[in-house]
Amino acid sequence: MRIPLAVLLAATVASVASAQDKVTLSNGDVVTGAIKTMADGKLTISSPLVGDITIPLANIANLSTGAPVDLLNTDGERFKRRIAGIEGGDLKLEGDIPSLALSRLGQINPPAKVPESWTGSLTAGGWITSGNTERRAIGLAFEAVRRSEIDRITADASWDYSEDKATGDWVLNQRRAGGGLKYDYFLTKKWYLIATARVLGDTLANINLRFTGGFGLGYQWVENDTTNFSTEAGLSYFNENYRRDPVLNVADPSVDYLAARVAYKLSHKLSDTTKLLHGTEAFPSLEDANDVYFQMKTEVQTNLTASMIASLGWVWDYDNTPATGRDRSDHRVLLAVGWTF
């Protein structure tokens, strides 16, 4: 019985050893254990002798796994394969995908997929003053985003209303409402197709309805937990329908034209609780160089609690050909509190 038992023990030890992952360093040292993860150019392996070890990928000469591991490439594709080694700058894999260039390796054992869900915010602001100045105002804003591996949906809406009391009667000095819907379909991890539509009504600017709708192409330069930055370009249909001027009792004729749409959007965390939001969307006409409209938004948003936020924002609307008697520029400074979801 001693010989069969010894053979069995030797086979068991060999089986366990062969099932371990093995990392060969550039200096010839070998580390065995279980690979936990590889991300941002660094691999972490758990050694039974010394615990977790983090090794820069640049210092690894060879790599193999005893069992299949989860792999994520730079295009966002996931698959499970056993790594047989490194050869000529490629990971040698078992199965129908024989190799993967190290330059296209995103992660080993990436985190589990986060279920698709909507995130966003709802904010409200307003004030009432009495005495020498009689004023009341209210504003609401909503934004929601749903991001999956292949697409992104963005929806937003806002409403602002205010009036002053000067000679006994309340006089309207702000009433505008608008919203937008945007769909992005990712062709690669960076490039995506765009379909977008937006509407706006502004009583004081004499705009009954402004509508823009179009398509284009975008590029996601950065997308991580700290910074998101993207740029977009495309074509859009632009239409403005004006209200009847209460003094002149006439309405400007509606205008519509084909416009280019160029935009960028930045989100950056300034700290664990505060982030900067900034973006611009412009519609220069392709038919008349004088017809140009754009909107620029800048906002600082900070967390008061886990779900409650406060924000201070500035919005600049510019229309080079406004309704008769109206200014080209509108500036709004908004202070609000709200909730995230």
Predicted confidence at residue 16, as pLDDT, reads: 41
CA distance 163 to 143: 26
Is 113 part of any domain? no
Q: Are 291 and 188 part of one and the same domain?
A: yes
Element (H, E) at 17: helix 2-19
Q: Are 150 and 227 part of one and the same domain?
A: yes
Mean pLDDT of 46-75: 89
CA distance 127 to 281: 29
Is 174 part of any domain? yes
**Both tokens assigned to 174:** 């702000």
What backbone torsions phi and psi does residue 68 show, to the nearest 5 degrees? -60, 145
CA distance 52 to 338: 42
Partners of 255 in the β-ladder: 240
Asked if the model's pLDDT at residue 110 lies above 50, the reply is: yes
Neighbours of 175 (CB within 10 A): 15
Is 12 part of any domain? yes
**Both tokens assigned to 84:** 């047989």
Predicted confidence at residue 4, as pLDDT, reads: 55
Residue with tokens 């089986």: 15
Q: Are 203 and 286 part of one and the same domain?
A: yes
How would you label 211-225 residue by residue, b for 16+ Cβ within 10 Å and e otherwise? ebbbebebebeeeee
Q: Are 239 and 95 part of one and the same domain?
A: no
CA distance 24 to 61: 6
Q: Are 102 and 131 part of one and the same domain?
A: no
Element (H, E) at 183: strand 170-186
Three-state SS at 156: strand
Element (H, E) at 166: none
Q: Are 125 and 100 part of one and the same domain?
A: no
Q: CB–CB of 336/139 below 8 Å?
A: yes
**173 closest CA partner among 186, 155, 188, 161:** 161
Q: Are 94 and 126 part of one and the same domain?
A: no
| pLDDT tens digits for range 123-180 | 999 888 887 778 899 999 999 999 998 999 999 999 999 999 877 788 888 899 999 9
Q: Are 94 and 228 part of one and the same domain?
A: no
CATH (domain of 266): 2.40.160.40
Asked if the model's pLDDT at residue 18 lies above 60, the reply is: no
Element (H, E) at 18: helix 2-19
**Both tokens assigned to 306:** 């886990």
What backbone torsions phi and psi does residue 16 show, to the nearest 5 degrees? -65, -40
Q: How confident is the model at residue 17 (pLDDT cuts 50, 70, 90)?
A: very low
State the Rg of the chain over Cα: 29
Prediction pTM value: 0.69
Residue with tokens 């279980």: 34
**Both tokens assigned to 191:** 């490039």
Q: Are 164 and 197 part of one and the same domain?
A: yes
Q: Are 40 and 156 part of one and the same domain?
A: no
Q: Are 169 and 34 part of one and the same domain?
A: no
**Of the ranges 31-35, 72-76, 143-147, which one carries the lowest mean pLDDT score?**
72-76
- Domain limit, last residue, from 108, 136, 168: 108
Query: Sheet holding 99-101: strands in order across?
Result: 83-87, 90-93, 99-101
**Both tokens assigned to 118:** 């909507």
| pLDDT tens digits for range 37-54 | 988 889 899 988 888 999
Domain tally, the chain: 2
User: Which carries the bigger pLDDT value, residue 119 or residue 15?
Assistant: 119
Cα within 13 Å of Cα(50), Cβ side: 6
Is 98 part of any domain? yes
CA distance 74 to 89: 16
Q: Are 196 and 141 part of one and the same domain?
A: yes
- Domain limit, last residue, from 65, 86, 108: 108
Q: Are strands 227-242 and 207-223 parallel, antiparallel or unpaired?
A: antiparallel
Inter-CA distances, 99 with 21, 22, 35, 55, 92, Å: 18, 18, 19, 22, 5
- Domain limit, last residue, from 47, 82, 108: 108
Domain interval for residue 163: 118-340
